[in-house]
């Protein structure tokens, strides 16, 4: 039985990312043979979790299973290639900035207002901050055996036990990194920072659209897909106007074509209804760093009826359209980086990838923003659409969550994928600022240059 500890190997020499896809020269027979030799390695990487501490066993769901599960099935319709190992360092910072509200600054001799709070935050000792993570997607596997987790409160840093920080939230790929916040000064805190370091392996993903189009409708989807067919905040498949657009995109209705073709037509039709995209994907703080997800302005309608919305609202509407016609679909909240320009350094930003499930194929990704940029309105319905199934620069994108806030936690000052559980918290909203910092560093190339993507995403 192979160990699920860190079995992933890398090349020491760094190479530059090549935008082109690696040609698939393997036959089905060779792929089958390769799966026998490499599936355990890939599964081990995806299922890598921090070892339990013998001195302080975790009280949450055990991070390491007693017996590894069988490797997931693999899809020859979706091939992974050109693997890159990256070290992720993510920090959530809560601090005060007078730049957030210059009018708050006190001038010499000015009396202190009665409701003036000298510190931006006042947190209790029972506060917890959670960062969602995904162990596996069709293009990304995550390794937490090298997880390093720390909390810094007003300059005092505490290193945490990785086994208590890493918490499984389901039998699937979802998990949280949970940081206990235990301030020494109960009168208030000027800065709280959580830091986590781990590794991921991201792949270029090549989808054989001809093979995917042969997938057929099941009599009934497995019960594990129920959550991806139902209504949830921001995703409403019960909207009759949305169903009309999504189902009417295929002559004779969605069921008259294969689910792949029906999905492609539906997403293209819904995305085409958005005549305008309001703003970018992200909201940035006073210092220019990533702070939250960008939405349409308050009291502004969005969706197929309004014909506009922000990038996250566009993706959520496309996912809802797929659910409306009976195809399991979900929204992935991801973070990637803008390229450097002559006036601006690379910085992190949110990116929203939709996925839908096909039996024997797996979770197929799409990027409706890219589809709009590549001119979906002028493309034939029966032809490939750039950004659907095959997505540019997907390998540079790290998936974090299927939900906008982790289960059991609340939104902090912004919707920003992370959340907190902070009873009795006091926040000076005119002064307090949050910041997300993600440093993505190369750690070489993956050992296996090409392999099929997993069909399912069940965890260990």
Please report, for residues 195, 201, 337, 444, the alpha-carbon distance to residue 346 in angstroms, rounded to integers and kept in the order given.
20, 21, 6, 20
Q: Are residue 86 and residue 154 in the same domain, yes or no?
A: yes
The answer to whether position 406 is within a domain reads no
What is the distance between the terminal CA atoms of the chain, rounded to a whole angstrom?
14
Q: Are residue 141 and residue 164 in the same domain, yes or no?
A: yes
Q: Are residue 310 and residue 445 in the same domain, yes or no?
A: no
Residues near 243 by beta carbon (within 8 Å), at least 6 away in sequence: 237, 321, 324, 325
Banded pLDDT at 113 (limits 50, 70, 90): low
The answer to whether position 412 is within a domain reads no
- Choose the final residue of a domain: 401, 426, 445: 401
CATH label of the domain that carries residue 369: 3.10.620.30
Q: Residue 43 is inside which H or E element, if any?
A: helix 28-46
- Choose the final residue of a domain: 401, 427, 445: 401
Q: Are residue 246 and residue 194 in the same domain, yes or no?
A: no
| Closest among 176, 133, 182, 135 to 156, alpha carbons compared | 182
The answer to whether position 459 is within a domain reads no
Rg over alpha carbons for the chain, rounded to the nearest Å, is: 23
Domain count, the chain: 2
Domain residue limits at 258: 208-401
- The Cα–Cα gap between 325 and 242 comes to 10
- The Cα–Cα gap between 448 and 445 comes to 9
**Site of tokens 């409706």:** 368
Contact (Cβ atoms closer than 8 angstroms) between residue 166 and residue 144: yes
Q: Which of helix, strand or coil describes residue 330? A: strand
Q: Are residue 141 and residue 199 in the same domain, yes or no?
A: yes
Q: Are residue 131 and residue 223 in the same domain, yes or no?
A: no
Q: Residue 315 is inside which H or E element, if any?
A: helix 311-324
Q: Answer yes or no: is pLDDT of 46 > 50.
A: no
Q: Are residue 357 and residue 397 in the same domain, yes or no?
A: yes
Looking at 106-110, 163-167, 278-282, which range is the least confident one?
Answer: 106-110
Cβ count within 10 A of residue 240 = 8
Beta strands in 244-284 (DSSP E): 276-277, 282-284
- Choose the final residue of a domain: 357, 381, 401: 401
The answer to whether position 423 is within a domain reads no
pTM for this structure? 0.82
Q: Are residue 442 and residue 397 in the same domain, yes or no?
A: no
Please report, for residues 147, 154, 184, 191, the alpha-carbon distance to residue 158 in angstroms, rounded to integers and kept in the order given.
15, 11, 12, 14
Q: Which of helix, strand or coil describes residue 245? A: helix
Residues near 212 by beta carbon (within 8 Å), at least 6 away in sequence: 77, 78, 260, 358, 361, 364, 389
Res 111: pLDDT: 55
* Joined tokens for residue 290: 């990533």
Q: Are residue 42 and residue 155 in the same domain, yes or no?
A: yes
Question: Among positive and negative, which fits the CA dihedral 80, 82, 83, 87?
Answer: negative
Res 460: pLDDT: 45
Q: Residue 436 is inside which H or E element, if any?
A: strand 432-445
* Joined tokens for residue 272: 């085409």
pLDDT one-digit tens code per residue, 300-345: 999 999 999 999 999 999 999 999 999 999 999 999 976 444 445 5
| Closest among 244, 61, 81 to 165, alpha carbons compared | 61
Q: Would you say how long the chain is, in residues?
A: 460
Res 21: pLDDT: 39
pLDDT one-digit tens code per residue, 168-207: 987 889 999 999 998 877 778 889 999 999 999 999 999 9
Q: Are residue 255 and residue 362 in the same domain, yes or no?
A: yes
């Amino acid at each position: 039985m192979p160990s699920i500890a860190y079995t992933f190997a890398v090349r020491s020499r760094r190479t530059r990312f090549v935008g082109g896809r690696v040609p698939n020269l393997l036959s089905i027979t060779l792929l089958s043979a390769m799966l026998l030799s490499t599936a355990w390695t890939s599964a081990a990487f995806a299922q890598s979790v921090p070892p339990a501490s013998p001195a302080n066993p975790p009280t949450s769901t055990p991070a390491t299973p007693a017996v590894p599960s069988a490797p997931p099935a693999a899809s020859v319709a979706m091939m992974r290639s050109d693997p890159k190992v990256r070290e992720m360092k993510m920090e959530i910072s809560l601090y005060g900035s007078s730049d957030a509200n210059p009018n708050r600054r006190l001038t010499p001799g000015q009396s202190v207002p009665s409701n003036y709070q000298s510190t931006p935050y006042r947190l209790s000792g029972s506060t917890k901050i959670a960062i969602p993570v995904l162990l596996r997607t069709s293009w990304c596997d995550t390794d937490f055996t090298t997880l390093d987790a720390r909390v810094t409160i007003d300059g005092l840093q505490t290193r945490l036990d990785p086994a208590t920080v890493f918490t499984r939230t389901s039998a699937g790929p979802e998990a949280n990194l949970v940081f206990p916040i235990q301030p020494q000064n109960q009168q208030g805190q000027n800065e709280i920072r959580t830091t986590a370091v781990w590794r991921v392996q991201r792949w270029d993903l090549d989808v054989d659209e001809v093979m995917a189009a042969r997938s057929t409708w099941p009599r009934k989807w497995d019960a594990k897909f129920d959550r991806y067919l139902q209504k949830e905040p921001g995703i409403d498949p019960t909207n009759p106007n949305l169903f009309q657009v999504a189902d009417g995109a295929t002559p004779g209705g969605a069921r008259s074509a294969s689910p792949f073709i029906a999905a492609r037509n539906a997403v293209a039709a819904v995305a085409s209804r958005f005549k305008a995209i309001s703003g970018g994907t992200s909201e940035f703080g006073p210092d220019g760093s990533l702070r939250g997800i960008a939405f349409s302005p308050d009291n502004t309608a969005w969706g197929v009826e309004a014909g506009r919305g922000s990038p996250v609202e566009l993706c959520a509407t496309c996912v809802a359209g797929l659910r409306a016609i009976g195809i399991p679909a979900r929204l992935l909240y991801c973070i990637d980086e803008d390229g450097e320009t002559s006036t601006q350094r690379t910085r992190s930003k949110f990116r929203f990838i939709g996925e839908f499930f096909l039996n024997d194929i797996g979770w197929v990704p799409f990027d409706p923003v890219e589809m709009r940029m590549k001119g979906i309105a002028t493309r034939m319905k029966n032809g490939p659409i750039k950004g659907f199934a095959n997505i540019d620069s997907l390998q540079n994108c790290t998936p974090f969550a299927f939900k906008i806030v982790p289960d059991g936690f609340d939104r902090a000052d912004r919707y920003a994928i992370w959340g907190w559980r902070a009873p009795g918290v006091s926040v000076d909203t005119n002064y307090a600022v949050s910041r997300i910092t993600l440093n993505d560093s190369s750690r070489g190339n993956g050992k296996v240059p090409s392999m099929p993507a997993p069909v399912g995403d069940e965890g260990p």
